[in-house]
Each structure stands twice: as C-alpha cells, then as structure tokens.
Structure 1
Amino acid sequence: MPVIDGPSGLTPAALSEIFEAPVTSVAWEKVGSGQIGACYRLRVEGAEGVPRRLVAKMAAEDEASRAFLGPAYRAEVSFYRDIAPTVDVRTPHCHHSALSEDGTAFVLLLDDLHPAVQGDQLAGCTPEQAADAVTNLAGLHGPRWCDPTLADLPWLSAVGADDAATLAEVFAPAVETFADRFAADLADRDVRTLRETAGAVAAWVTARPERFGLVHGDYRLDNLLFPPAPERGATAVDWQTLSLGHPLRDLAFFLGTSLDPGDRAEHERSLVAAYHAALAGYGVEGYGLDECFDDYRFAALQGPLITVLGCAYGTRTERGDRMFLAMATRSCAAIRDLGSLGLI
C-alpha cells in the first residue's frame, strides 16, 4: 500500500487495511521536536486485536530536508524489517513499515511503551539503570557478532579509508566551532582533548577491524525508555544511525556520556563485565573480559565524535546546548581517565 505521508493519512480506513480488522476511530497528537522526523501518538478504537495505543514515525515536515535524511529513514525502516527479528535488543514492536522508492517518505507504526519514561541525558542515570541499558545493548551486538553476512545488506554502511579522511576533515572544524560556542563553560583540558581526538579520529575509525558488528550509533539516555521503578527492561529507540563498525563504540558512548565521571570510574569495570557476560550468553567466544575492557577504552572517542557532530548539524536549542556540553565534558573525562588516545 502507498506510504502514509503525514498524520492526516492515519485514517480509520488506512489502519483497517493495515491491521486487516475494522478500525472505527483514530486520534493523534504530535510528540517530540521533529528535527529528524515527525512522531505522533495515536489512540485507536476498533475490533479486538487492534492496538489501542501506537506511535507513528514519519518523515520530517520540512520537505527540503528529506532528501538529506533519506539514508537515515531507510536505515530505520530496514532495521525493523531486516535486523530486529535476528537480534535480542529490546525495541518497540513494529506493526507496519513502509518506505517510498526514493527514501524521502516513510511510516512506522510502533508499540506505545507507556508508562515507560524517556531517559534524561542532562541528568544522567544511576549505575543500576546503566547496568540495565548495557545488558540490553549486548542483545544488539551478541547475536550477530562478527557476522560476515551483515556486509550483504546494501543499506548497512561501514566506514572505509576515504570516509575516514572525509570525517576527519569535517570533524576538526566542528571541534573549533564547538569550542567557540562553549568558550565560557568548556574547560581548557576538554578543549585539548577534543582537538587531540580530531587529530586521531581518521586512524581510530577504521582501526581494530577484526571485531565488527551492528552499531546503534546514538545509544544514549534520550534514546532509551525505562519502565517505572523497580521494574527493569530498558528499551532502545531511534535506529536511524545504525551502521556497521566496532560494537564497543556503543558501550563506550553510553557509559561515557550517561554517567557522572565519578560514578563511571567507580562502576565501569563491573558494567563492562555485565555487558561481556551478556555477550557470552549469546555465544560470543574467544573474547576475554580484559580484551573487552581494552576495546571499551579504545572506543571512547565515540563520545566527543557524536556529540560535536550532533551539535554542529542539529537545530540549536537551549536544552540542546546544555546537553551537548554535559556530554562533551563527561566523554572527554572518560578519554583522559582511560588513556584512550594512547591506544590509537
């Protein structure tokens, strides 16, 4: 059926066709800021078996940006179609997906995970929440760890030497822009760490190719939903940055940006051990805990890389500025504490 492009297309007739059951009414409200795409929360009435609460994800309302965002839309739709059934990461169940031929319009109908609440990137998380999140992350990485068939998926990209050089050319000026924007708040040592990261990123991004797998790319608190305490079961959303690379980038990015540096330093060994044990539960062999922790140290450059680029190319907001500053400060501290730059 045609791609539903906009909330006005979420009609009872359209949903009746999708669910192959009568839908009598649909009410929707917009949620989120809609910078990359548009999200709507649906209330649905209909026959038994039709979900009563859904989230619809669609393309950005700004049509001028859709061509640029097409690869991200294709990655997310393809994740739910091709990858989600083959891994064990908790993510919303997808009831329906559609993507236009040119990739500029899409729709996903996902379970509404109410009453789960979004993580708060500014506030950070507790070590208990972090343990929940890293165990879930292993459910993405473990089942397809070093799986050569991932390279057969035409939409799943890996960074090559030319891409690495281009990334370095883009990242270095973005670091200077970031340092200028936050000159009043960013410590000199953090500016030095960002600049040293820029100098190392081309070599880093293609290093250690012997371990590869699925990389969420933006596995952080704002992209996780947590059930009400004391329940556990963090759920990951927003799969538009999925790629092929070193899996530990996700782990280092999450711990480096989500925990207060003191909490991270105190708990990171046990958290990496929990992740490693979960990997072993998915059959990952020949990968010791010491080797895993060394990869975690090496992968910490993911923190400033994603933070600075996100700041440079995202729509500027007051909360966004505070969030990016907190993420940069935390991840730079992790790089120094772990000696990550010395591993490249």
Structure 2
Amino acid sequence: MDVVNVDGLTAGWLAGVLGREVGELRVERVGTGQIGACYRLRFGDETLLAKLPPADPGERDMMAGAYRGEVRFYQQVAGTVAVRTPYCHHAEIAEDSGDFVLLLEDLAPAEQGDQIAGCTVEEARAAAVNLAGLHGPRWCDPTLAEVDTLSLNGPEEIALLLEMYGPTTELFLDGLGDLVAPQDAATLRACVPVIGPWLLARQERFGLVHGDYRLDNLMFSPDSTDVAAVDWQTLSLALPARDLAYLVATSLAPDDRRAHERDIVAAYHHALVGYGVADYPFDLCWEDYVFAMLQVPLVATFGCAYSTSRSERGDRMFAAMVARGCAAIRDLGSLDVVGQ
C-alpha cells in the first residue's frame, strides 16, 4: 500500500488516485479518531476526507476485521444500494494487516447528529427513509454472502457472544452506576436469557444491517432533509428491522417515539416497497420492529463495556441510549414477542 499513515497523504498520491493534478495540498486532522484517524484534504477550492487506521500497529491489527468490512462496503456494496453515504473515491486495505485508506466525499456543511440530545421527529423519519435505501435494493439477496466479510450468523458464530453477554451487562451496569435507572437495569438483565433465541430468530428475512445506525453516525444537511450514513465497520447480514428499531429508539425522546413511531415505521415500509420489496406487509414490518428492539441493549452494553476510550460524554451517551431503548422495550412488550 502507498498510504499507511498521514505521511502518505501527499499531493502526488492524491493526483494519482483522482487522475488529475491537484496543486498544493493541505492536510488537517478531523475529530478524535477513537478507532481510526480522519483527515481533511484541501486542494484548490476542493476538500475530501481521508480515513486511516490508528498509528499503533497492535490497534490496527486488532480492528482489521472491522476495517475490512468498511472497505468491502465501499468496494463492493455501496454502488448496489440506495442509502446515502459519502461518495468513495478510493478504498484499499492490506491483505495481511489492518492497514487501510479510504478517500471519501467531504459532507460539509452537513453536521453530525447528537446522540445525547436526540433529534426531531422529522430527522428520525428522514433517517428511516434513508435506511430503507440500504435494506430494500438487496432484500434477502443470497449473493450478498459472496462478499467475504458478510454471512448470516449461526449458533457457532454467536456462542462466544452468548457466553459474554451476561457478564458484559453487569460490567456495563457497574461502570455506569447511577446513570442507569433501576427499572432500566432490570430490563437489561431481563434481556440476557432471551438474547440467544433472539439472535437466531427470523433469519428468513435478512439484509444488509449497518449495525450502529444512530445519530452519531449520521450526517444531516442544514435543513435536515438530506441524511448520510457513515462508519460502516459493523456491516453484517441480519434482520433489517434491527437497524430501524435501534435508530428510532435511541434517537427520539420516549414521548416523541410513542406518538410518532408508527408513522416513522410506515414511512420506512413505504420506501421499502418502492425498492421492490414484496410479500412484506406493514403489519409484519411493525412486528419485526417491535421484536428487534433488543438491538439497543445488545450494541450499547458491548460498545460501552469494551470501549478503549471511555469518557464522561461517552458514558452519558450510552446511558441515554439505554434509557430510551429500555423504555421502548417495555412500552412495546418486546420481551414478550421474543418469548413467543
């Protein structure tokens, strides 16, 4: 690979990728880069973003699978779906390490969502419709398994996760302490014994699942009508409604969700039908949405408990996600649906 760190982001390399002269190049660090590093490349009146792994070789190799998943998304998947993402000019990863580089469209002046503050109903609806552009075009497409980073998980693949889920939930609760209300702690613990059947259920409906489709991974245009999804390291094949439930539950205040979630799910379903999804009536979509709510505690507990960069903001973010998600699980009776 020509680029393994920021020193490789030269005008000559960029010109070779773009196939034209770029003139003087300025490279600026963007964001904190918890599992990678992002740089804005300025040349003339243009800007692009370059995404690289962290400097530490051990961290690179530990996250190599996640990096490969994101690179494969841009190489093999993005052009076959309709979800709005940054346009990718170049995607490359080493075969034997976590060295990679992505050269992406700069979405500025779009702004990142705020997971703690939440969003408006209109923003949640726009994000849900955009999500249908990921799920709909390749709904239940068996050729997705030809991508070397994608497969449906069976009992053997999830065995370690099942073994860890109970202790991880307790680690999460111990770490966040009073940030988690007692009723939410009880809901989190009630999810532990049913997560195995939940993970293996409903695999007859599968599709591309972002896995972490939430506000911090979404970019909103100034008028909030255009939404783009970023950070594709957790892409997998699973029940598509997992993304939808995770988005709606973690983004909206409980009162807003209760009042508007059915309309948001209907907008998502309408968009799916527009992409040619058949034999999937709204009532079944709604049932999948209710069932899929356990995506929130699953992702939040693991994400927080094993984060390598714990922070006050991060703890408050995970606490907010879990509070909203647990309220949705109780409101909708999701645990009862899973147990059926």
Residue 163 of structure 1 and its aligned partner are, at CA, apart by 2.4
Q: Write the letter of the residue equivalent to 2:15.
A: S
Matches within 5 A, 1:202-241: 202-229=196-223, 232-241=225-234
Q: Write the letter of the residue equivalent to 2:204.
A: E
Question: Is the Cα contact below 8 Å between 1:11 and 1:25 reproduced in 2?
Answer: no
Residue 3 of structure 1 and its aligned partner are, at CA, apart by 3.9
Residue 186 of structure 2 is aligned to residue 192 of structure 1:
yes
Tell me which of 239, 243, 248 is aligned to 1:250.
Answer: 243
Residue 62 of structure 1 and its aligned partner are, at CA, apart by 2.0
Further displaced range: 30-39 or 209-218 = 30-39
Residue 29 of structure 2 is aligned to residue 30 of structure 1:
yes
Tell me which of 265, 273, 277 is aligned to 1:280.
Answer: 273
Structure 1, gaps ≥5 residues long: 46-50
Percent pairwise identity = 54
Residue 76 of structure 2 is aligned to residue 82 of structure 1:
yes
Q: Specify the SS of the correspondent of 2:219.
A: strand
Residue 143 of structure 1 and its aligned partner are, at CA, apart by 0.1
Residue 73 of structure 1 and its aligned partner are, at CA, apart by 0.7
Give the aligned partner of residue 317 of structure 1: 311
After TM superposition, the score normalised by the length of structure 1 is 0.96
Equivalent pairs, count: 337
Residue 86 of structure 1 and its aligned partner are, at CA, apart by 0.3
Superposed CA deviations along residues 18-45 of structure 1, whole A, max 9, x for unmatched, are 1121122111111122121111111113
- Residues of 2 paired with 1:3 and 1:271: CA distance? 45
Matches within 5 A, 1:1-344: 2-45=1-44, 52-229=46-223, 232-314=225-307, 315-344=309-338
Residue 211 of structure 1 and its aligned partner are, at CA, apart by 0.3
Q: Specify the SS of the correspondent of 1:316.
A: coil
Residue 165 of structure 1 and its aligned partner are, at CA, apart by 2.5
Residue 268 of structure 1 and its aligned partner are, at CA, apart by 0.4
Give the aligned partner of residue 48 of structure 1: none
Q: Specify the SS of the correspondent of 1:78.
A: helix
Q: Specify the SS of the correspondent of 1:235.
A: strand
Question: Is the Cα contact below 8 Å between 1:89 and 1:136 reproduced in 2?
Answer: yes
Q: Specify the SS of the correspondent of 2:278.
A: coil
Question: Is the Cα contact below 8 Å between 2:175 and 2:305 reproduced in 1?
Answer: no
- Residues of 2 paired with 1:15 and 1:255: CA distance? 39
- Residues of 2 paired with 1:261 and 1:62: CA distance? 41
After TM superposition, the score normalised by the length of structure 2 is 0.97
Q: CA RMSD in A?
A: 1.1
Q: Specify the SS of the correspondent of 1:191.
A: helix
Question: Is the Cα contact below 8 Å between 1:168 and 1:199 reproduced in 2?
Answer: no
